[in-house]
Structure 1
Amino acid sequence: MHKGRVVFGAMDEVVFGRPAAEAAVEQIDRLRANRAFLMVSGTLNRNTDEIEKIRKALGPRCVGTFDAMPPHTPREAVIGAAAQARAAGADLIVTVGGGSITDGAKAVQLCLANGIDTVEGIDRIRAVGGAPPPMAAPTFRQISIPTTIAGGDFSASAGVTNEKTRVKEAVRHRLAMPRAVILDPAITLHTPEWLFLSTGIRAVDHCVEGICARESHPYADAQALKGLSMLVQALPRVKADGGDLDARMECQIGTWLSMGSLSSGVPMGASHGIGYVLGAEFNVPHGYTSCVMLPSVMRWNKSANAERQALVSAAMGHPGQDAGDVLDAFIAGLGMPRSLADVRVGPEHFDRIAQQAMKTPWVPRNPRKIDGPAQVREILILAA
């Protein structure tokens, strides 16, 4: 008999297939916001007219723009953005960009609500042992317009990198989840191919680790299996024709579904946990961490969850085949990196990576039990 609990997030709407500027105005009207603060991709702001379209559509309701969020959301940039939003008197944040910007806005909301204005102050809101401390709820919310497809827009959690310790730390609150997400495939045309496709593998990773988790349940499976099927069909179409908006839309919807497991309480596993360390310590892009780790994690886990892995192979169109091999071939077919060596992480770093990975929330919840760093090292050797 199934047992469990699904907690629904604090998101109102997902709008898909509509121009970003038009949909953003409708959402701001709906929320009756008057002072929208933009947190956006610097590349989009400087090299395209996409952000200017949104500024013009908002008119005087746009009170500022922050476009300096580096990858992996460092604390310093969060505090800088929070100071700018505070000075602007914002009553809504609109993000346009990738996962680091989306996560940054979540952290900014919590900093503003809790009077945090220093890098050290973020200690007051970071999760410890996977549990967030008591904190004030955000006083205003966020609308997200993603340009990549990692899926963080559908989560109430954010990863913020502590530059001093080189550790990515979680901050979360149920109201940090965006109030609405706008999926516009046209705005992703500016995203570099490697970034779009690799974040698509991050979404695949969400599906796969959700399906293979010990805590999986039918509600989560339904979304993850459909999301995986959509992603594996659409990503090669984007690779073949970058201008295929239908394929990009399928990828965006598949990514939305990919977050169904995590948002309904199903934990991720070692691929995500090790990926946190690779990103924070070695600056490996989020999508690349999944490209190089997921097949090896699947192979290491197979003795514990072969039946669940069979669902992955079937959803990817290869029933009866080894899921790790199917994923490996799929990732290689997109031209993505396939090993730790490809992302310049060598065996001399494996001991430290393994020790740090044990401190993440996901490695201890991997479907095949990981008792200590030595077993993480076994996975790293498979991915070397």
Structure 2
Amino acid sequence: MSISANWSYPTSIRFGAGRISEIADACSVAGIAKPLLVTDRGLATMDITTKTLDLMEAAGLGRAMFSDVDPNPNEKNAAAGVKAYNEGGHDGVIAFGGGSGLDLGKLVAFMAGQTLPLWDFEDIGDWWTRADADAIAPIVAVPTTAGTGSEVGRASVITNSETQQKKIIFHPKFLPSVVISDPELTVGMPGFITAGTGLDAFAHCVEAFCSPHYHPMSQGMALEGMRLVKEYLPRAFADGTDIEARGHMMSAAIMGATAFQKGLGAIHALSHPIGAIYHTHHGTTNAVFMPAVLQFNKPKITGVINQAAAYLDISGGFDGFCEYVDALNSSLGIPKKLSGLGVKNPDIDKIVAGALSDPSTGGNPVKMTKENTRKLLLECV
């Protein structure tokens, strides 16, 4: 992909193939002289990570790395990361990876200088104001997948390992100072990760577009994000070296995560407790729920989905859009039920309770109740 661009919305983004070479300059702009690169275990020994550490070392930034990060990161990972950060005398974080590495990296930068416990900063009311904003370390984010969009997010999703609940920790300064969005870093993603992360971006766009809240900027971004996924996710899945497709998918991920300031909904409300309890891949879980949630919300979203279908050149309005989603899932190997993700005999009551307490419920077009959420979940088991 020959496109290279610098964007300033929603933060400073350096987009283009090969731009990981600018990691040292990005750290300088962010005010970081001794970074800790935070990533997940799977990425720790991969070539893209080694290359980034080499670039850091060559620039005099050291090559410190923390990678004790679970696929659904938790408070234990956070505590270990904060310990590594403080003991190493670091002054900023390079959050490197997919959603888990990015979320945990941002959280380490946030928590390293705080005195209150992690759960005191959950995204409830104005709890974020409890944080010492001056103690939050700068962050450079480097996504290696195209899905969560956490590189432009103002929060981290962290699992409470004791209660098996996913919690959102929020603060405006979670937003990284600089993002390097380099599609070459995503070339090595296996097909099932390409599919799952791409469908996570699609879910963000669809739920944001359907949310009843007023946010026309997000509405436009969600619609174009859906188009990019429609055109380029099949290409990226079919040929992982297709840099043009990889690049457009990274843009779609950024757009989806920016758009969901407008709200999410039942897809994420259900996916979060499933991931926390059964450790399923987040984006793939979203994809399993999407067809049923579209039908669940049909009374409220037929009009907006008709608009989306027209823009995406999908005939048949709402029904045609749903048929498209089913076909897309099938073409990418997404199972139709949670059992296909290894979720056997799920604790229905616990999942429903988790869904109803999730912040995403507030953006769902149809009010979620214990009764209708239980029925919706049972359709997907």
Note if 1:169 corresponds to 2:167. Answer: yes
What is residue 5 of structure 1 aligned with on the other side? none
**2:31, 2:138 within 8 Å by CA — same for their partners in 1?**
no
Distance in 1 between residues matched to 2:110 and 2:9, nearest whole Å? 15
The more displaced of 36-45 and 158-167 is 36-45
CA shift digits 1:283-328 (9 cap, x unpaired): 1111111111111111110011210121332344313332333212
- Which aligned pairs between 1:73-222 and structure 2 lie closer than 5 A? 73-115=73-115, 121-128=117-124, 132=128, 134-137=130-133, 138-149=135-146, 150-222=148-220
User: How far is 1:10 from its partner?
Assistant: 8.8
What is residue 332 of structure 1 aligned with on the other side? 330
**TM-score, length-scaled by structure 1:** 0.90
User: How far is 1:124 from its partner?
Assistant: 2.3
Note if 1:253 corresponds to 2:248. Answer: no
Note if 1:305 corresponds to 2:301. Answer: yes
Distance in 2 between residues matched to 1:69 and 1:97, nearest whole Å? 11
Distance in 1 between residues matched to 2:380 and 2:307, nearest whole Å? 23
Between the two proteins, the alignment pairs up a number of residues equal to: 368
- Following TM superposition, where does structure 1 have runs of at least 4 consecutive aligned residues deviating by more than 6 angstroms? none
**2:20, 2:182 within 8 Å by CA — same for their partners in 1?**
no
2:310 is matched with which residue: 307, 314, 331? 314
CA shift digits 1:108-131 (9 cap, x unpaired): 122112136xxxx22222234695
**TM-score, length-scaled by structure 2:** 0.91
2:281 is matched with which residue: 285, 298, 314? 285
**1:34, 1:61 within 8 Å by CA — same for their partners in 2?**
yes
Distance in 1 between residues matched to 2:206 and 2:79, nearest whole Å? 34
User: How far is 1:191 from its partner?
Assistant: 1.9
CA shift digits 1:324-350 (9 cap, x unpaired): 332121111111222222123356522
User: How far is 1:248 from its partner?
Assistant: 0.5
Give the gaps of 5 or more residues in structure 1: 1-8
Identity percentage of aligned residues: 24
Provide the secondary structure at the position in 2 that maps to 1:190: coil
Give the gaps of 5 or more residues in structure 2: 1-7
Equivalent AA in structure 2 for residue 376 of structure 1:
T
CA shift digits 1:58-102 (9 cap, x unpaired): 223125210121111111011101110111111121122110111
User: How far is 1:241 from its partner?
Assistant: 1.2
Equivalent AA in structure 1 for residue 354 of structure 2:
Q
CA shift digits 1:199-234 (9 cap, x unpaired): 110000010001101014321111111111011110
What is residue 16 of structure 1 aligned with on the other side? 15
User: How far is 1:30 from its partner?
Assistant: 2.2
Provide the secondary structure at the position in 1 that maps to 2:96: strand
User: How far is 1:177 from its partner?
Assistant: 1.2
**1:151, 1:256 within 8 Å by CA — same for their partners in 2?**
yes
Equivalent AA in structure 2 for residue 221 of structure 1:
Q
The more displaced of 208-217 and 337-346 is 337-346
Provide the secondary structure at the position in 1 that maps to 2:43: helix
Equivalent AA in structure 1 for residue 370 of structure 2:
P
Note if 1:50 corresponds to 2:48. Answer: yes
**1:63, 1:90 within 8 Å by CA — same for their partners in 2?**
no
